[in-house]
Amino acid sequence: MSLTLFAVQTLNGLQFGLMLFLVAAGLTLVFGVMDFINLAHGVQYMLGAYLTAVLAKVTGGFFTALLLAMPLTLLLGLVLERLVFRPLYARGHLDQVLATFGVILIVNEAVKLAFGAAPISVPVPEILSGSVRLMDGLLFPVYRLAIIGAGLGTALLLWLVIDGTRFGMLVRAGATNAPMVSALGVDVRRLFTAVTAFGAMLAGFAGAMVTPILSVEPGMGDGVLILAFVVIVVGGVGSIRGAFIAALIVGLVDTLGRSFATDLLKLVMSASTANHVGPALSSMAIYLLMAGVLAFRPAGLFPSRSAG
Amino acid sequence: MLSVRGLSAGYGAARVLFDVDLEVGAGEVVALLGRNGMGKTTTVRAITGLLPPTAGEIVFGTTRLDGSPPHKAAQAGIGLVPEGRQIFPTLTVEENLVATAASRFGPPRWTKERVYDLFPRLRERRRQMGSQLSGGEQQMLAIGRALMTNPKLMILDEATEGLAPLIRREIWSCIATLKAEGESILVIDKSLDALIRVADRHVVLEKGHVVWTGTTAELVADRAQVEKRLHV
Ligand SMILES: Nc1ncnc2c1ncn2[C@@H]1O[C@H](COP(=O)(O)OP(=O)(O)OP(=O)(O)O)[C@@H](O)[C@H]1O
Ligand SMILES: [Mg+2]
């Protein structure tokens, strides 16, 4: 385990965590404000990626594609909210889970029909290609740095909106007591539509940003969705701050666990046992983390329903 | 101003309100009385749209409110100070005041500054989180928050419950101030003496039925009879 490798993997974990944050942010608000479980949120991530990949092919430019994909993901979020989610608000969580799981299956198949099952690759945009030398022997891809920058920038923007605007106040108030917000004259349905669409766009943005480094394929949002749920449970449902911290923790634990668990285990057990246990343990690491957090803080790190 | 006729409501199969009639005129203070669990809060929830009524008519001004969502009642001009205060714990005091502030009927009579003048303690604590306030301060904040919607009618549900005598007096004097300004108020409270001082008319609920109604003068004359319905 070299220091350089550790530094590289820390940056990778950070980048992964920030993308998770973009997906989890919308999920935690939708869950927090309207008590609505939206499994189809991962679909928004996939659609953001597909729109960007396809538009990049058509227009020939990654940034043009990104710019066009964002309003489209917002629109798709609005359409899904109107057609599928609205009738489900008054229903129980089980109905919501079943219906939005159905959306996953349908959209995954639709994407397969439209673009084929084969992964689509998107080239790294010219000006963000190559690597930079961060320190001796540490080369890191420019594009991944750009993702970290974009993730941090979006997190900052989101924080400014949630913390500093009237809309943000209503979102926070709604996350703790939506009926009261309504009783004070705010149409919480419209608030929720806005939050859902906004959240869909953030997830779509994450999907768009990873197109040059991951393969764009049907079902690519499913794994991300599960991790995003871990993030919001650890962070505290409804809390953006919680989602941010938890996403970074999950991203780092997952990435570092996968690269170093086996090496670390070799210090305490035989090499062959470590080779078996390491990968198994590292794929469980974030769930162990979640269980650990929930054991001590059942409402997550930053519970929004009680306080703080 | 507010006219409730034949209101019935309940939770699932349990019926709580039976044919309740209630009127609040412009500038009038009406008290809603009754023992625990008699349906006072349920009446308020039905009026404000938080609980859809099963029968009856709720008219506020010229707006039919029965069957509409809560924000319609608020937009029509009802300012709710709910049972249990229900201030937003993750918002600061000031954010609690401004988040849902509105002035739907001309220039606002209530601004942040006027609320702070009414409750100077809130000004001192404007940057603190709602969750950090004492019970009395939370109550003041809940009143200020409702005033910031610049309502035509204030509904106060047990605004003095569980508060120290000194804070209670402050809340009552605030209600008297609002009355003096011509605010219409529907007030729910357990203290008959305080209600006699501030209210114009009284409505007593028992098991979801209106069992007594009259002016303050009539209440004073009939006090023994009414008190029997309020104490166990
Ligand atoms: N959410 C609910 N679900 C089911 N029943 C309820 C609910 N809320 C109240 N009730 C019942 O409805 C009846 C009336 O309750 P309500 O809260 O309106 O009484 P109240 O007059 O406001 O009493 P209090 O003085 O204790 O506030 C009670 O029997 C109560 O148990
Ligand atoms: Mg009550």
- Give how far the C-alpha of residue A69 lies from the chain's centroid of Cα atoms, to the nearest Å: 17
Q: How far apart are CA A170 and CA B88, in angstroms?
A: 10
Q: How far apart are CA B137 and CA B119, in angstroms?
A: 9
Q: How far apart are CA A158 and CA B90, in angstroms?
A: 17
What is the crossing angle of helices A240-266 and A220-235, to 10°? 110
User: In the prediction, which pLDDT does A1 show?
Assistant: 54
User: In the prediction, which pLDDT does A307 show?
Assistant: 40
- Are B125 and B87 in contact by the 8 Å Cβ rule? The answer is no
Of A166, A170, A176, which is closest to B89 when you measure between CB atoms? A176
Nearest to B57 by CA among B135, B123, B5: B5
State the distance from the centre of ligand 2 to the C-alpha of B10, rounded, in angstroms.
14
User: In the prediction, which pLDDT does B44 show?
Assistant: 97
B46 pLDDT more than 80:
yes
Look at residue A247 and tell me if it is in a domain. yes
Ligand showing the shortest atom-to-Cα distance for residue B34: 1
State the distance from the centre of ligand 1 to the C-alpha of B188, rounded, in angstroms.
14
User: In the prediction, which pLDDT does B185 show?
Assistant: 97
Domains assigned to chain B: 1-77+186-232 (3.40.50.300)
State the distance from the centre of ligand 2 to the C-alpha of A41, rounded, in angstroms.
39
Of B48, B90, B99, which is closest to A183 when you measure between CB atoms? B48
Categorize the per-residue pLDDT at B125 as very low, low, confident or very high, splitting at 50, 70 and 90.
Answer: very high
Other CB atoms within 10 Å distance of the CB of residue B102: 17
Look at residue A233 and tell me if it is in a domain. yes
**Mean pLDDT across B102-106:** 92
ipTM value, please give it: 0.94
User: In the prediction, which pLDDT does A90 show?
Assistant: 84
Phi then psi dihedrals of residue B50, to 5 deg: -75, -20
Domain membership of residue A166 as a residue range: 3-296
**Mean pLDDT across B205-211:** 95
Look at residue A157 and tell me if it is in a domain. yes
Number of structural domains (chain A) is 1
**Ordered mean pLDDT values, 10 residues apiece, chain A (308 residues):** 84 95 92 87 96 94 95 95 90 93 95 94 91 85 94 93 93 91 95 92 96 94 94 91 94 91 85 86 89 91 63
Pocket flag, ligand 1, residue B46 (CB < 6 Å): no
User: In the prediction, which pLDDT does B173 show?
Assistant: 93
Nearest to B22 by CA among B11, B12, B8: B8
Q: Which CATH number does the domain housing residue A106 bear?
A: 1.10.3470
Look at residue A215 and tell me if it is in a domain. yes
Look at residue A308 and tell me if it is in a domain. no
- Are B17 and B206 in contact by the 8 Å Cβ rule? The answer is no
Q: Determine the atom of ligand 1 nearest the C-alpha atom of B39.
A: 18
Mean pLDDT for chain B overall: 95
Look at residue A305 and tell me if it is in a domain. no
User: In the prediction, which pLDDT does A308 show?
Assistant: 35
Look at residue A306 and tell me if it is in a domain. no
User: In the prediction, which pLDDT does A196 show?
Assistant: 92
State the distance from the centre of ligand 1 to the C-alpha of B16, rounded, in angstroms.
8
Ligand showing the shortest atom-to-Cα distance for residue B203: 1
Categorize the per-residue pLDDT at B163 as very low, low, confident or very high, splitting at 50, 70 and 90.
Answer: very high
Q: What are the tens digits of pLDDT across the range B171-199?
A: 999 999 999 999 999 999 999 999 999 99
A188 contacts in chain B (CB < 8 Å) = 71
- Percentage of residues in chain B with pLDDT exceeding 90? 95
Q: Determine the atom of ligand 1 nearest the C-alpha atom of B208.
A: 14
The tokens for A195 are 């939050």
Enter the pTM of the model.
Answer: 0.87
Contacts A–B by Cβ distance under 8 A? 78
Interface contact flag, B145 A170, Cβ < 8 Å: no
| Residue where the block lists tokens 């594609």 | A65
Phi then psi dihedrals of residue A141, to 5 deg: -60, 135
A166 contacts in chain B (CB < 8 Å) = 98-99
User: In the prediction, which pLDDT does A89 show?
Assistant: 86
User: In the prediction, which pLDDT does A239 show?
Assistant: 86
**Which H helix or E strand runs over B215?**
strand B209-215
The tokens for B172 are 């009552």
